[in-house]
Amino acid sequence: MKPSMGLTGSAIDNKLILHQRPPLTRSVDVMPVISYLTTIRFEFGAIQGIPQDLAELGIAKPLIIADEGVAKAGIVGQITALLEGSASPPVFTRTPTNPTEEAVEDALAVYREHGCDGLIAVGGGSPIDLAKGVALLAAHDGPLERYAAIRGGIPRITAAVAPVIAVPTTAGTGSEVGRASLITLRDGRKLGFISPHLIPKRAVCDPELTLGLPRWLTAATGMDAVTHCVETYLSPRDNPPAEAIALDGLKRAVDNIEKAAANGSDRDARHQMMMAALEGGLTFQKGLGAVHALSHPLGGLKDLSLHHGTLNAVILPVTLRFNQSHAEAKYAVIRATLGLAADADLADYFERLSGRLGLPKNLAEMGVTRAIVPAIARAAIEDHSHATNARPATVEDYERMLTEAIG
């Protein structure tokens, strides 16, 4: 019998071979984990399914998490009206622009005071991320920092997390299907809390809720969706299903963002933008990149309270210039997907798109000064989105990108 390859040689050799780990071609940080988990209702009028969702998830006493803007727009009222028959649920609307540890604790106190057993998050990324933080601490002992991804917190988050129904009212963050929650701790660090258990048990995507969004918010949150699709597509994690979704989301977003911003009542454009945002969120599992590694710590600057999507719109072109040499083939696919010329400059293209949408030209216009460059560049290296940038970046690279984005 011919000895099979690898089993020749001494017993010691055999032992070595049999116990050898298979070679890893990528670091564990960028190893793909392909996973689709969320149940999604998606249609005009989808919120009418919420009572059924509550029943299916066994939530008898939900806490509604929203913000003042969403409450004023009457959306919280529309949802509580659907829950007739049960006692009016408690509502927490003190969600800051960037959710904070303090706000998580305040909302958690309301959750416990009313004996709640689940959450309905209504709003943009902030109320949804805040609700995820409450759902986490409702079933896990604090402090919150223990569960941060960069503190090794991912395995500490268990299936005991309280169930969340996410009802996005903007088309951008994708948080309704994302496993991450971004929360600014007391010391000012904006950290990512990441776990499949934090994914909302239901996403209720009702484009009707976005018809009243003002132009700037439509543009800024829409550019967040654009950035999610671009960054996840360029991420080196090998996940073809996610890449196909990212390209589809990017095309929908680019084709419709200006229509939705120009005419908020354009129902088809609103529908397409909400789908683009959802798709951007479905691709998060590929990992984001330098845009988010920078916009997360910038969003943690409490004195400036900078809007996440607006930050991304400004930073995206700078990172596209930085990444180009490491992603030529993928840039070509993006150009083809968007129907651009083969030699089109993607950075210029997205810069002009943001300009037409009336978004800021640079971070200086948003109040960011060069004094914060070293601290933000160091925080970017620590951010969970850093590992999957298309091109490995150093602190100095982040300093250069940030300085260019400040203008």
Q: Which residues bind Zn ion (CB under 5 A)?
A: 224
Nearer to Zn ion, 101 or 224 (CB): 224
C-alpha angle 63-65-67 in degrees, rounded to nearest 5: 150
Q: How far is the CB of 320 from Zn ion (least distance, A)?
A: 16
Q: Considering the complex, state which of residue 224 and residue 397 has its C-beta at the smaller distance from Zn ion.
A: 224
Q: Which of residues 118 and 232 has its CB atom nearest to Zn ion in the complex?
A: 232
Nearer to Zn ion, 89 or 249 (CB): 249
Minimum distance between the CB of residue 274 and Zn ion, rounded to whole angstroms? 15
For Zn ion, the closer of residues 62 and 249 by Cβ is 249
- 18: tokens are 């049999």
Q: How far is the CB of 128 from Zn ion (least distance, A)?
A: 12
- Nearest distance from residue 27's CB to Zn ion, in Å? 24
Least distance from Zn ion to the Cβ atom of residue 228, Å: 6
Q: Between residues 93 and 175, which has the closer beta carbon with respect to Zn ion?
A: 175
> Which one, of 47, 94, 99, lies nearest residue 75 by Cα?
47
Q: Are 216 and 358 in contact (CB under 8 A)?
A: yes
CB of 59 to Zn ion, least distance (A): 28
The least distance separating Zn ion from the CB of residue 312, rounded to whole angstroms, comes to 6
Q: How far is the CB of 174 from Zn ion (least distance, A)?
A: 7
For residue 97, give the 3-state DSSP assignment: coil
101: buried, middle or exposed (CB in 10 Å: 19+, 13-18, 0-12)? buried
Name residue, tokens 């084709």.
255
Contact 304, 199 (CB under 8 A): no
Whole-angstrom Cα distance, residue 160 to residue 147?
14
Task: Give the span between the Cα atoms of 69 and 93, in whole angstroms.
Answer: 9
Nearer to Zn ion, 76 or 298 (CB): 298
Which token pair is 128?
A: 């949804």
| Least distance from Zn ion to the Cβ atom of residue 173, Å | 6
- Pick 108 or 315: Cβ nearer Zn ion: 315
Query: What count of other Cβ atoms lies within 10 Å of the Cβ of residue 392?
Result: 10
Distances (CA, A) of 282 to 159, 193, 236, 244, 247: 20, 17, 16, 11, 12
For Zn ion, the closer of residues 175 and 256 by Cβ is 175
In angstroms, the CA 150 to CA 168 distance is: 27
- φ, ψ at 46 (rounded to 5°): -60, -25
Q: The tokens of 7 are what? A: 């089993």
Residue with smallest beta-carbon separation from Zn ion: 224
3-state secondary structure of 64: strand
The β-bridge relationship of strands 91-92 and 118-123 is: unpaired
- Calculate the alpha carbon distances from 13 to 17, 19, 201, 322 in Å: 6, 10, 50, 46
Residue 393 has which token pair? 């970046």
